[in-house]
Amino acid sequence: MPVIEVTHLKKRYGDLVAVDDVSLSVEAGEIFGVLGPNGAGKTTTVECVAGLRVPDGGGVSVLGLDPRRDAAQLRQRVGVQLQESQLPDRLRVAEALELYASFYRNPADPAELIDKLGLGEKRNTAYKKLSGGQKQRLSIALALVGNPEIAILDELTTGLDPQARRDTWGLIEQVRDSGVTIVLVTHFMEEAERLCDRVAVIDRGRVVALDSPAGLVSTVAPEQRIRFRPSAPVDDRLLTDLPEVSAVQRTGSQVVVTGTGELLHAVTSVLARHQIVAADLRLEQSTLDDAFVELTGHRPAN
Amino acid sequence: MHAFRNILRTEARLYLRDLPTLLTTIGLPTVILVVLGLIPSLRKPDPTFDGQTFVSYFAPSLLVVTLAMVGVNILPAVLATYRERGVLRRLATTPAHPAALLAAQLVLALAGILASALLLIVVARLAFGVPLPRHPLGFTLAFILGTAALLSLGLLVAAVARTTKAAQALAVPLFLVTMFFGGVYLPRFLLPDFVARIGDYTPPGVQALLDAWTGTPPQPLHLGIMAVIAVAAGAGAAKLFRWE
């Protein structure tokens, strides 16, 4: 049962078509990634889902409700973390959470949330004095303080250092484990690969692919590469005869085999049958990065 | 209402946290009054001012100081900053409407203006024998309409300015004009007559305040103009205000 359904969404700003035709559905309890180059229409799409923008065409349904008509109900049940939303400089962490908690009918306990997000020592610190990572965690806390069924998080870890980014990922997994459906807008492939159950890749206002990260990689960029040093000479034909293998190259003592499917299994089996040991064996698979480039023609931001 | 009350309490706390700015805003007119009042010749009745002292004559202009600071300076700056930094937008995703934050800012602006005016009137009365406004009803009316006109102009600035910088670029000239025509920089009797007459009709309408303070009912035209400015600027602000 999908909790979010977007069908043929369209949104224009003047002459600029931000979203041309986006359809997707998000299942309860999953982490759903929305990927795409800058300006592809990711943010506009989730803003229509969050009821912050009125679509020019197509339909959006969230928890069976209409984000515009049933806005009051949905604001109680959907938490949103927007890109570049700040707080007043002098507002303290605990004050912000207590204030936002007071807007909801069944809020989470602000004190508990502060501890869970590792802001316990900062509860009386003014917003201005928080580090980037702490501000980001507070922002996530504010999106969660209403005990939402769905959390929409836009550019969650942009501007964070690698450690803070990993901490934030751990946190998102915890949130999902507590039963919240998460929609994650990102342009970090590593983030999507680590967190998302499924991703939609949006380019120029359209969905160009929708699958699990691993599924995307294997359909869009299925090529794999194995490197090893054989313990005895290997006849190339031994390898090229395998249906999984597409090419064999040699660089010095190293053999490089390219192919698809169960390549590793096929190669190691044939070597074992001929009592050849593959030393320094390495398998190189395509990543979501490669799939992204393949799909959009853009290098993902890093 | 519940959300509004909590937002109001939080915003009030934020103002109190910036005590120096708060004290300056509320206390500056009274400080100027005290400095002028310490000069003996300004405490003597003078025929230039229909037999009043200069301090009495100048007090309504001092009211303009806080009105201008709060109405056209602080209010638009705070609202433009909140919009630029996405505070209003974040609030729009919660069950609280960002209008609650705007309303809270207006209430606090009014509270500051009122506190400043009361302090000025009481200190003027106790320390320098400036009589309390002699036409209380007219004075209250002139004060309310003048305040409403300036706050509406402030909201209009906040509505049309896209950024904090743009808000300041609009607010500073408006502030200077308000102060100038209000007779703060140069007492009005030193201004050319036509400039002083223009000042009768620019918010907050210092002539109506002076009339009511000294016992003459304020002229309906003076009050009417303030009401028109308040309604027109307020309606413009409501139409043009963008939450993001």
ipTM: 0.87
B89 and A85 within 8 Å at the Cβ level: the answer is: yes
Find chain B residues with C-beta within 8 A of A76's C-beta. 95
| pLDDT at residue B179 in the model | 92
Q: Is A199 exposed, middle or buried (0-12, 13-18, 19+ CB in 10 A)?
A: buried
Q: DSSP class of residue A92? A: B
Report the candidate in B202, B169, B166 with the shortest Cα–Cα distance to residue B61.
B202
Using an 8 Å CB-CB cutoff, list residues of chain B that contact chain A.
Answer: 2-3, 6-7, 10, 13-14, 17-18, 82, 85-87, 89-90, 92-96
Residue A300 has pLDDT above 70, yes or no: no
Contact present, A169 and A133 (Cβ < 8 Å): no
Q: Work out the widest C-alpha separation in chain A, in whole angstroms.
A: 73
pLDDT > 90: percent of chain A: 62
Instruction: Give me the helix-helix angle, B2-17 and A93-101, nearest 10°.
Output: 160
Contact present, A242 and A270 (Cβ < 8 Å): yes
CA distance B56 to B42: 9
* Intrachain domains A2-212 and A223-285 with the same fold: no
Contact present, A250 and A256 (Cβ < 8 Å): yes
Find chain A residues with C-beta within 8 A of B18's C-beta. 90
In chain A, which residue's Cα lies nearest the Cα of B95?
A75
| Band of pLDDT at residue A267, cut at 50, 70 and 90 | very high
Name, in order, each residue with C-beta under 8 angstroms of A95's C-beta and a sequence gap of 6 or more: B10, B13
Give, rounded to a whole angstrom, the gap between the first and last alpha carbons of chain B.
23
Query: Structurally, what CATH architecture does the domain formed by A2-212 represent?
Result: 3-Layer(aba) Sandwich (3.40)
B90 and A52 within 8 Å at the Cβ level: the answer is: no
Helix (H, G, I), strand (E, B) or coil at A272: helix
Find chain A residues with C-beta within 8 A of B86's C-beta. 82, 84-86
Please indicate if any CB of chain B lies within 8 Å of the CB of A91.
yes
- The radius of gyration computed from the CA coordinates of chain B, to the nearest angstrom, equals 18
Please indicate if any CB of chain B lies within 8 Å of the CB of A13.
no
Centroid of chain to Cα A79: 17
Residue A94 has pLDDT above 90, yes or no: yes
Report the candidate in A173, A177, A221 with the shortest Cα–Cα distance to residue A196.
A173
Per-residue pLDDT, averaged over A66-79, amounts to 93
Residue A97 φ then ψ, to 5° = -70, -40
| pLDDT at residue A252 in the model | 86
Tell me the β-bridge partners of A170: none
Helix (H, G, I), strand (E, B) or coil at A61: strand
A84 and B86 within 8 Å at the Cβ level: the answer is: yes
CA distance A255 to A236: 9
Tell me the β-bridge partners of A6: A24, A60
| Band of pLDDT at residue A222, cut at 50, 70 and 90 | confident
Find chain A residues with C-beta within 8 A of B7's C-beta. 99
Find chain A residues with C-beta within 8 A of B79's C-beta. none
Contact present, A231 and A46 (Cβ < 8 Å): no
- Kindly give the pairing relationship between strand A150-154 and strand A78-81: parallel
Helices (H), chain B: 2-17, 19-37, 54-68, 75-84, 87-92, 98-128, 136-160, 164-181, 193-201, 206-214, 220-240
Please indicate if any CB of chain B lies within 8 Å of the CB of A169.
no
Out of B89, B92, B95, the one facing A104 most closely (by C-beta) is B95
Cα angle B113-B115-B121, degrees, rounded to a multiple of 5? 100
B93 and A82 within 8 Å at the Cβ level: the answer is: yes
- Fold classification of A223-285 is Alpha-Beta Plaits (3.30.70)
Please indicate if any CB of chain B lies within 8 Å of the CB of A104.
yes
Indicate the domain borders of chain A: 2-212, 223-285
Length of chain A, in residues: 302
Residue A221 has pLDDT above 80, yes or no: no
> Could you report the per-residue pLDDT of A127-161, keeping only the tens digit for each?
999 988 889 889 999 999 999 999 999 988 877 78
In chain B, which residue's Cα lies nearest the Cα of A72?
B95
For chain B, 244 residues long, give each residue's pLDDT as a single digit of tens: 688 999 999 999 999 999 999 999 999 999 999 999 999 988 888 888 888 899 988 988 899 998 999 999 999 999 999 999 999 999 999 999 888 999 999 999 999 999 999 999 999 999 998 889 999 999 999 999 999 999 999 999 999 988 889 999 999 999 999 999 988 888 888 888 898 899 889 999 999 998 999 888 999 999 999 999 999 999 999 889 888 7
| pLDDT at residue A297 in the model | 75
In chain A, which residue's Cα lies nearest the Cα of B3?
A103
- Kindly give the pairing relationship between strand A31-35 and strand A198-203: parallel
| pLDDT at residue A251 in the model | 87
Q: DSSP class of residue A106? A: S
CA distance A110 to A216: 39
Taken in order B58, B63, B64, B69, is the CA torsion positive or negative? positive
Name, in order, each residue with C-beta under 8 angstroms of A267's C-beta and a sequence gap of 6 or more: A226, A239, A242, A244, A245, A257, A259, A278
Please indicate if any CB of chain B lies within 8 Å of the CB of A28.
no
B6 and A146 within 8 Å at the Cβ level: the answer is: no
Q: Which amino acid is at A270?
A: V
- Kindly give the pairing relationship between strand A206-211 and strand A224-230: unpaired
A80 and B18 within 8 Å at the Cβ level: the answer is: no
| pLDDT at residue A46 in the model | 93
Name, in order, each residue with C-beta under 8 angstroms of A222's C-beta and a sequence gap of 6 or more: A260, A261, A286
Q: How far is B171 from chain A (nearest CA, A)?
A: 21
